[in-house]
Structure 1
Amino acid sequence: MTTTEDRLDRIGQLLDRQDITDCLTRFSRGMDRFDRDLFLSAFHDDAVIAAGEFVGGAAALYDWAIVLHEQGQVSTHHNLLNNTCDIDGDVAHTETYYLFVGRNRDESNWIAGGRYIDRLERRDGQWRIVLRTNAIEWSGLVPTLPIPFADVPGIDLNGVPSRSTEDPSYQRPLTNKRETNVPSAGGDAA
């Protein structure tokens, strides 16, 4: 293979890896924002997911998980960390470390870590998950502290966190509605 062919092959692999990373991120964001369409776009229709006591398809997983999260937490973060990705043609196997954090309705904070182990397939040019297993490796509660800056007047003008498409991250174009304010050194600025 020539240097040009090798480089084009590597660029193709990088594009595939980025598409796979985008797919994995859609799962997390879809779950945290309660965005069903975004969540489901991470899975092929025949996907099977094994997560805790749940084993089934993506739509059923979403419905099951949303009830758990609505009943248990006021907010969740599914953070994706280290990722390995082995691509062989139109099939990829990934291992993605995750950190889950939930602010519980009882004002405690639940934190858990583990790994999503996935098999993805590229169908019709789209990388999506066809099999996921969730290896939960640890879990615990952490002390609750007040949310920083919650008492700042006008902090909500740019939007407030929401488990819906009303979240500021969906705003297009993103705009600032707050007045310029530069606190003095040693003040309340973080």
Structure 2
Amino acid sequence: MTTEPSFEQKVQELWDREQIRQCLVRYCRGVDRFDRDLILSAFHPDCLDEHGKFVGTPEEFVDWALGQHGAAHLSHQHCLLNQTVELDGDTAHAETYFMFVCMNRKGKPLTLGGGRYVDRLEKREGAWRIAARVTLRDWSMMDEIPDMDDLTSFTSTRAILPQEVKDFMNAGRGPVRGPEDPSYDRPLKVDPARREGYLAMMRQTEKA
């Protein structure tokens, strides 16, 4: 027999879900406003974020992301769409669809694309923050049909990516139409080997 959750339990679940949503909103607003502290407030310090051609800590991610956006774009928006959240005590797994729009400094005036933030969040000292993230790109406005097995296909800089970066990206995980998709991982983890591979790739490209 299934026990009906109490009123207090229902309220707590709604509050947890809202705090998780607000965590993702803080992240997007922080990136769009170049607000370093606001971005970092969405992550636990020991988080690893696998974000396309980047894998690293929140501090490193802020430097990388703001550097990329500042160099390539005049302005941009990260918009949140569908979100599913599975709660298990002080741990949650969330899949949040996003769409981003960028006004470019060079080339085509506008870049439009979308994907998903796949997150494991943890509530520590009463605060929900991201403990692990895999960012997946699902689509982009393109002039030709992409190779879905090539994870560099959806990047706005794909034409100028060094081969080392392309190889690194394609050794990672991409979107899958099925239970092999990272959104099904329980618990979601970022392989530390991907972090080491990222550092090695960066050393290699710096020497080139």
Give 2:79's aligned residue. Answer: 79
SS of residue in 1 equivalent to 2:34: coil
Give 2:180's aligned residue. Answer: none
Matching residue's letter, 1:32 = D
1:72-111 matched pairs, under 5 angstroms? 72-106=72-106, 108-111=109-112
Give 1:155's aligned residue. Answer: none
| Distance of 1:132 and 1:102 partners within structure 2 | 22
Give 1:137's aligned residue. Answer: 138
Matching residue's letter, 2:114 = G
Shift of residue 2, structure 1, vs aligned partner = 8.3
1:10-62 superposed Cα distances (whole Å, 9 cap, x missing partner): 11000000000010111100000000000000000100000011011011011
Matching residue's letter, 2:96 = T
Give 2:55's aligned residue. Answer: 55
1:112-157 superposed Cα distances (whole Å, 9 cap, x missing partner): 1111100000000000001010110111269xxxxxxxxxxxxxxx
| Distance of 1:35 and 1:61 partners within structure 2 | 13
Matching residue's letter, 2:129 = R
Give the alignment's TM-score, normalised by structure 2.
0.65
Give 1:119's aligned residue. Answer: 120
| Distance of 2:31 and 2:75 partners within structure 1 | 10
Matching residue's letter, 1:91 = T
Give 1:13's aligned residue. Answer: 13
Give 1:38's aligned residue. Answer: 38
* Percent of residue pairs bearing the same amino acid type: 46
Count of matched residue positions in the alignment of Structure 1 and Structure 2: 141
| Distance of 2:116 and 2:43 partners within structure 1 | 17
Whether the 8 Å CA contact 1:116–1:132 is kept in 2: the answer is yes
| Distance of 2:35 and 2:19 partners within structure 1 | 19
1:53-104 superposed Cα distances (whole Å, 9 cap, x missing partner): 1011011011001111011001110100000000100000000000011010
Stretches of structure 2 that go unaligned for 5 or more consecutive residues are 144-208
Q: Which has the higher helix share?
A: 2
Stretches of structure 1 that go unaligned for 5 or more consecutive residues are 143-190
Give 1:29's aligned residue. Answer: 29
Shift of residue 8, structure 1, vs aligned partner = 1.3
| Distance of 1:112 and 1:70 partners within structure 2 | 18
| Distance of 1:92 and 1:9 partners within structure 2 | 16
Whether the 8 Å CA contact 1:98–1:113 is kept in 2: the answer is yes
Write out the 4+ residue segments of structure 1 that deviate beyond 4 Å after TM superposition. none
